Amino acid sequence: MKLYFYNTLTRQKEEFYSIKPGEVGLYTCGPTVYNYAHIGNLRTYIFEDILKRVLIYNGYHVKHVMNITDVGHLSGDRDMGEDKMEQGAAREGKNAWDIADYYTQAFKKDIARLNIVDPDIWVKATDTLPEQIALVKRLEEKGYTYRTADGIYFDTSKFKDYTKLSHQDLEALQEGARVERNPEKRNPTDFALWKFSPKDSKRQMEWDSPWGVGFPGWHLECSAMSMKFLGDQLDIHCGGTDHIDVHHTNEIAQSEAATGKRFFNFWMHGAFLIIAGGKKMAKSAENFLTLENAFLSNDINPLSYRFASFLTHYRKPMEFSDEGIEAARNGLLHLQNQVRQVVAAGIGGDKAISAEYKNKFLGAVNDDLNMPRAMAVIQEMLKSSVSDTVKLTTILDFDRVVGLNLDQLDQERALPEAVQSRVDARITSRTSKDFATSDRLRAEIEAMGYLVQDTKDGMKIIKK
Ligand SMILES: [Zn+2]
């Protein structure tokens, strides 16, 4: 079945194609590790996880790279403000390297709790300094850079199509960007490739470079890393919608200026999480909800949040509230109970995946990851007249995409070895119409504390 994604670059749903047949290079912008991820950030990683699982479900081999921003992300837009890592270090009285390690581990724990599949390659910004410096040199040789008192900048006026991703009006953008003061910048949209360490104080994270001691600009790392690890497989690049106007726009400008080639064919962006009342969640705001304080500390399975995120399409803002948490929790419990019922209901019946529902499910997820529709298909399937064993096989197949650990419910009811071996033997004896053996095995299973029922859907084994 064909696969369609909405591409921010072209502003339309397009049929997906990969550069190399059967393989996809996927780059997802990772966290800036100066604080915990809030659940708005995590929504984006869930959307990217679904994207990756859908690609795999469609038979692609995916090579996924995610960066860890542990230097160079400043608190203000357009290279103003303080380095967030140094801010985090000052806030907690630790050094920036320890802060980075601590919050990297916290992030990895969060995504594991959400059953997000790890990238194939994790890469820290501070581990790719040589590649980032080489990229600035390349841009310098091609005449795209200039020097100011505080760093080396990219001249955006030299790159035509600067706004091809954001589709913004460049003049309006220049006006908007003018409010921030850096009189040495030639154009308000120009951005730092390399920033110098301040003369009056020593930074905790700084490196030598051909231009002087300092640190890389935030946008640089994602270009350097994706080209290093994905090279000729620049298929899909993702992030939150807040990355479109500046971060991803600048990544495209510096990468395409350096290579003269198109940088990524597909750009996909996840929408914000909005707190009931209309506020966007931010680390600086009071409503800084994390997996820990919104779910774990209230004894709510964090997968409830994963479940909740499926009910709003990834390109639409998702509203979040206490009632929303409660509804998500109940929604997941309900689904788990439905699956437990089909698990308990049949053994030894037809184990084929329902082609009808698989088709419907694929139709939903392949249509720009339409998870609300996919969840409706799951409900339709579970309530349908297909047999319980088929329901189980089918839902476990869908779980390869939804990732709600439904297979654990199947394992939960795993029978003791001695019972299972007799069940297997009884299925064989019934198939060969050896009813004497079948009856003997039934008596043995019942003596072990289980009821045996033969139904049209197969054998049911129920604990007495
Ligand atoms: Zn990035």
99-149 pLDDT, tens digit each: 899 999 999 999 999 999 999 999 999 999 999 999 999 999 999 999 999
Q: Which pLDDT value is given to residue 419?
A: 86
- Confidence tier at 333 by pLDDT (50, 70, 90): very high
Across 381-404, b (16+ Cβ under 10 Å) vs e yields bbeeebbbbbbbbbbbebbebbbb
The SS3 of residue 5 is: strand
- Confidence tier at 286 by pLDDT (50, 70, 90): low
Q: Which pLDDT value is given to residue 78?
A: 64
Q: Which pLDDT value is given to residue 175?
A: 65
Between 416 and 62, name the one with better pLDDT: 62
How many Å lie between the centroid of ligand 1 and the Cα of residue 270?
Answer: 14
Average pLDDT over residues 431-444: 91
Average pLDDT over residues 351-360: 95
Across 147-161, b (16+ Cβ under 10 Å) vs e yields ebebbbbbbbebbee
How many Å lie between the centroid of ligand 1 and the Cα of residue 30?
Answer: 7
How many Å lie between the centroid of ligand 1 and the Cα of residue 174?
Answer: 22
Percent pLDDT > 70 in the chain is: 93
CA–CA dist 153, 142 (Å, integer): 13
Average pLDDT over residues 236-253: 94
How many Å lie between the centroid of ligand 1 and the Cα of residue 370?
Answer: 25
The answer on pLDDT for 355 being more than 90 is yes
Between 274 and 307, name the one with better pLDDT: 307
How many Å lie between the centroid of ligand 1 and the Cα of residue 248?
Answer: 7
CA–CA dist 126, 145 (Å, integer): 22
| Contact assessment for residue 118 and residue 111, using Cβ atoms and an 8 Å cutoff | yes
How many Å lie between the centroid of ligand 1 and the Cα of residue 437?
Answer: 64
Q: Which pLDDT value is given to residue 92?
A: 83
pTM passes above 0.85: yes
Lowest average pLDDT, out of 218-232, 380-394, 447-461, goes to: 447-461
How many Å lie between the centroid of ligand 1 and the Cα of residue 79?
Answer: 15
Q: Which pLDDT value is given to residue 456?
A: 65
CA–CA dist 177, 172 (Å, integer): 9
How many Å lie between the centroid of ligand 1 and the Cα of residue 247?
Answer: 7
How many Å lie between the centroid of ligand 1 and the Cα of residue 234?
Answer: 14
How many residues in the chain?
A: 464
The answer on pLDDT for 307 being more than 90 is yes
Lowest average pLDDT, out of 14-23, 72-81, 100-109, goes to: 72-81
How many Å lie between the centroid of ligand 1 and the Cα of residue 207?
Answer: 21
How many Å lie between the centroid of ligand 1 and the Cα of residue 223?
Answer: 8
Average pLDDT, the chain: 90
| Contact assessment for residue 144 and residue 257, using Cβ atoms and an 8 Å cutoff | yes
Average pLDDT over residues 457-461: 72
Average pLDDT over residues 305-326: 93
Average pLDDT over residues 362-382: 98
